[in-house]
Structure 1
Amino acid sequence: MASLDPLPRLTQASTALTRAIQIVDEFGEHRAIAIPAERPLTVFVDKRELVTLMTLGASPELLVLGYLLNQRLIETVQQVESVTVDWEVAAAAVRTRAGIADIAARTARRVVTTGCGQGTVFGDLLAQLGTLQLPDAGVARIRQSTLTALLDVMRQQDSIHRKAGSVHGCALFCGTRLLMFVEDVGRHNAIDTIAGWMAMHGIGGADKLFYTTGRLTSEMVMKAAQMGVPIIVSRNGVTAMGHELATQLGMTLFGRAANRHFLCYTGFERFDSEPEPPRGALRELAG
């Protein structure tokens, strides 16, 4: 049954994502370039300090909501009354409607992940597997032509990475339509921000595709599964634990994906292959 509580009130505290600095290049020239403006954001839940996130600060309120959801500290955003971000004190104050039960015990065990910017997961990832349900292959699948079109959209996407480097990007697609794109210093922050956006807009993940520039670790696979997204595309590769989790959950993972190249690691039953011509045949046609 849907909650009768309203959506949380959010500040709009986005801030400058890059900063100009002076450098000297290999030609001895002095010039200005842009670099990502990484900054700390300490999250307080009902006045209790929870965690400090290192972030660009593009959509900090959505990041905080997505973080709480993906950590399973809240089940719905309606449990939150407000998220107030104040960059003068580098803090996000979360006020819940009824508190978070056993928050001390639930956040006692911390796992430092492989995430860029060093992510943190509370509790045991594997213990959550039995609670996750994803659509079957008859409902959620992807054609090779859709995959290559998605990659072309991302190739043309204007980005901080293109201007300043040193960030990861994540995107949510419905088919080839880009719904949301966000960059942050860590891919885990970017996926949390998308999770917060989905929750605030009541968007489900069953018919969606998730794209990331970062590697597919167990953390990224688990968070996508918690968002209900069964298909993930990465410009990077996959770790052994990420592969194992995706296999257990019945997810489809694509890695090393750029231009028309990709590797499908798991979930072949969701993938409608449209094979490229053999390289020899391409050379013959060109001749």
Structure 2
Amino acid sequence: MAEILKNILIHRFDGDEVFLKEDIVILENRVHIWLNGEKIISTMCIPMQQDAHAVGFLLSEGVIERVEDIFELKIAADGLNVFIQAKINENNLQNLYKEKTLVSGCGGGITGNTQNVIGIPFNTSALKIKAKQISKNIALFYKESELYLKTGCVHKAMLLFEDGFKISSEDIGRHNAIDKVAGKARLIGLDTSMAVLMVSGRLSSEMVIKAVMHSVPIVVSRTAPTFLGVKTAQIHGLTLIGFARGKAMNIYTHPTRVLDFDSKE
């Protein structure tokens, strides 16, 4: 397993005092994803949960449509190469090559899923959640983020399921964090159409599209959405919630999935 944390010596300025202290920083690295013998992408990320990251990315892009279509999944001994043999959607793979949209935000992410999302069915998930459950879990969001507490340098994504079970992932890139947590859930057979996705970053269109591609019906962030993020959620049937802080939140689309929501005209 590749090293992910490094202790370094820094100069700390605090008021009128300057002193040397040890600090912990994240080690990011370039991880290469190989599909059917061909390297299709290299991404800067934290080299952990590489199998989930690769699978989540390929599912997010629609290159692989189901986990069951994967024949083989291996991580190289160096932890920096992931090899997958799978049945693929050739059109979506070509869209990834052709589009290569540089996504907003950190991590230098690339996506082709702006085209691949066309034709994805409207989300009709029956999942509902109470506002107080959202507030409770957002309050715990960073407190349960091990790497964030140590370094302050990562984004987090978490899937909260109907029975209270939750899984999470952290990465320097907010897109990577979603791919990792979605890939992890899909690899162990969890139904992401009955989960709430909570993220640390803003809700831009490509973040929302990742939720669409994994059939996630509710997406929550402590920060803001973009207009295209809201429009994408509205079109595809997602409940989009931003500025979830304390007991307050903004529900931008499809509010009826929040049980105690009472619309005021």
TM-score of the pair, normalised by structure 2: 0.88
* Structure 1 residue 116 displacement after superposition: 1.4
How do 1:59-98 and structure 2 match up within 5 A? 59-86=49-76, 88=78, 90-96=80-86, 98=87
CA displacement at 1:271 relative to structure 2 = 2.0
Flag the 1:100–1:264 CA change in 2: closer, same or farther, 3 A: closer
Residue 133 in structure 1 maps to residue 122 in structure 2: yes
Deviation readout 1:84-111 (Å, 9 max, x if unpaired): 2236383222223x56646763423211
| Conserved 8 A contact 1:39-1:56 | yes
Distance verdict in 2 for CA 1:101–1:264, change over 3 Å: closer
1:237 to 2:200 alignment:
no
Distance (Å, rounded) in 1 between the aligned partners of 2:4 and 2:79: 17
Unpaired runs of 5+ residues, structure 2, are none
Distance in structure 1 (CA, Å) of the matches to 2:6 and 2:55: 26
Using the TM superposition, give the Cα deviation of residue 159 of structure 1 relative to its aligned residue in structure 2, in angstroms.
2.1
Partner residue in 1 for 2:245: 258
Decide whether the 8 Å contact of 2:65 with 2:89 is kept in 1.
no
Closer, same or farther in 2 for the Cα pair 1:102/1:254, shift >3 Å? closer
Q: What residue identity is the alignment partner of 1:135?
A: T
RMSD: 2.2
What is the rounded CA distance, in whole Å, between the counterparts of 1:152 and 1:240 in structure 2?
26
Shift in Å at residue 145 of structure 1?
A: 1.6
CA distance, structure 1, for counterparts of residue 165 and residue 9 of structure 2: 35
SS of the residue aligned with 2:256?
helix
Cα contact 1:38–1:54 (8 A) shared by 2 = yes
- Within 5 Å, give how 1:109-128 maps onto structure 2: 109-122=99-112, 125=114, 128=117
The residue aligned with 1:37 is: 27
* Shift of residue 48, structure 1, vs aligned partner: 1.3
Instruction: Report the count of equivalent residues.
Output: 258
Q: Which amino acid aligns with 2:132?
A: S
Q: Match of 1:197?
A: 184
- Partner amino acid for 2:202? R
**Mean alpha-carbon deviation: is it higher for 101-110 or for 57-66?**
101-110
Task: Tell me: CA distance 1:103–1:267, structure 2 relative to 1, closer, same or farther (3 Å).
Answer: closer
Q: CA distance change for structure 1 residues 21 and 232 in 2, over 3 Å: closer, same or farther?
A: same
Whole-angstrom CA distance in 2 between matches of 1:80 and 1:61: 12
Q: Which runs of 5+ in 1 are unaligned?
A: 1-13, 276-287
**Of the candidates 110, 129, 138, which is equivalent to residue 151 of structure 1?**
138
**Greater displacement, 43-52 / 127-136:** 127-136
Report deviation, 1:198. Answer: 1.9
Change (3 A) 1:259 1:200: same
Distance in 2 between the 1:58 and 1:224 partners? 21
One-letter amino acid of the structure 2 residue matched with residue 121 of structure 1: T
Contact in 2 for aligned 1:145/1:274 (Cα 8 Å): no
Q: 2:10 aligns with which of 8, 23, 37?
A: 23
Closer, same or farther: CA 38–171 of 1 in aligned 2, 3 Å: same
1:228-262 CA-partner distances (Å, limit 9, x unpaired): 11111102110111011011112111111222232
Share of identical aligned residues, percent?
A: 23
The answer for the alignment partner of 2:175 in structure 1 is 188
Q: Which has the higher mean CA deviation after the structures are superposed, 55-64 or 157-166? A: 157-166
Tell me the residue number matched to 2:44: 54
Give 2:154's match in structure 1, choosing from 160, 167, 187.
167
